Amino acid sequence: MDLNDIKSHIIVTNSPQNTLLNLIKTINTNNYRIFDKDEFLVEDAHELISHAYIASENIKYLIVKTISCNIVSQNALLKLLEEPPANIVILFIVPNKSIFLPTIRSRLPIKIEKTPKEEIEIDFDFDSLGIKSIFEFLKKNKQMEKKEAKVFLEKAFEYYKKLPFSKEQKLASELEEFDRSFRLIELNSPAKNIISTILLLLLEKKSAL
């Protein structure tokens, strides 16, 4: 792709880091500045504006990767987006176009770059839950990856919700255990320990039926 073909625009993607890396490879130049922020604040907007008005003989790319951009920050960018300096390309990498005001969206083309989610199969039959099946599953999955563990917990929670107990019998402490398990997985705690705790909890509930 010719660098001159890349214009300022918004990229909506469910893989922001991959999109950022691919974009850097595509532009194939060191003349860029990345603003990688969970929340793009007004001070970030002012910093971007300052970089935009530094003269450049070659195209300079200002890349913003964010999941949130408040109203004050967006309003600060309006004039720059309306009349950008020569050789400046501004690119936003975001999970959803709705984080922007209509005034921003009207000034920039929007490119949707969604990638299909990877389907992860979990080889465990919850309906046949027992000590033997738990032991065999844990033995087979000693090194379960984070993404697999998250899918397993989601399936385990769906199974738990289907157990024929009343709402009163589904204790808050058990729901908290699921919530705690999801949080521990996000913090990269050992998946085997978390999964075994949940499976034993489900077995206990099933045995009480």
> For residue 118, is it within any domain?
no
pLDDT, residue 206, reads 86
Total-model pTM = 0.56
Do 36 and 81 lie in one domain? The reply is yes
> For residue 121, is it within any domain?
no
> For residue 120, is it within any domain?
no
> For residue 119, is it within any domain?
no
Q: Count of domains in the chain?
A: 2
Do 136 and 68 lie in one domain? The reply is no
Do 57 and 106 lie in one domain? The reply is yes
> For residue 64, is it within any domain?
yes
Beta strands, E only, 25-166? 32-40, 60-69, 88-94, 110-113
pLDDT, residue 151, reads 87
Which residue range(s) make up the domain with 162? 126-207
Identify residue 23 by its one-letter amino acid code: L
Report in angstroms the alpha-carbon separations of 28 from 24, 62, 184, 201.
6, 14, 39, 53
Check which CATH number belongs to the domain holding 94 and give it.
3.40.50.300
Do 27 and 101 lie in one domain? The reply is yes
What b-and-e string marks burial along 105-141, b requiring 16 or more CB atoms within 10 Å of the CB? Answer: eebbeeeeeeeeeeeeebebebeebeeebbeebeeeb
Q: How many CB atoms lie within 10 A of CB 194?
A: 21
Do 160 and 109 lie in one domain? The reply is no
Do 76 and 151 lie in one domain? The reply is no
Distance CA 209, CA 196 (A): 20
pLDDT, residue 183, reads 85
Last residue of a domain, one of 82, 113, 144: 113
User: Do residues 98 and 74 lie in contact, with contact meaning Cβ atoms separated by under 8 Å?
Assistant: no
Last residue of a domain, one of 113, 141, 176: 113
> For residue 108, is it within any domain?
yes
Identify residue 159 by its one-letter amino acid code: Y
The closest of 96, 52, 100 to 74, measured between CA atoms, is: 100
Burial class (CB in 10 A: 0-12, 13-18, 19+), 67: middle
Q: How many CB atoms lie within 10 A of CB 199?
A: 22
Report in angstroms the alpha-carbon separations of 195 from 64, 99, 122, 138, 191.
37, 36, 12, 8, 6
Do 90 and 130 lie in one domain? The reply is no
DSSP code at position 4 = G
What b-and-e string marks burial along 23-51, b requiring 16 or more CB atoms within 10 Å of the CB? Answer: beeebeeeebeebeeeebbbebbeebeee
Last residue of a domain, one of 113, 141, 175: 113
Do 23 and 55 lie in one domain? The reply is yes
- 10-residue mean pLDDT profile of the chain (209 residues): values are 68 90 85 93 96 92 94 96 93 93 93 73 87 91 85 89 71 80 86 92 86
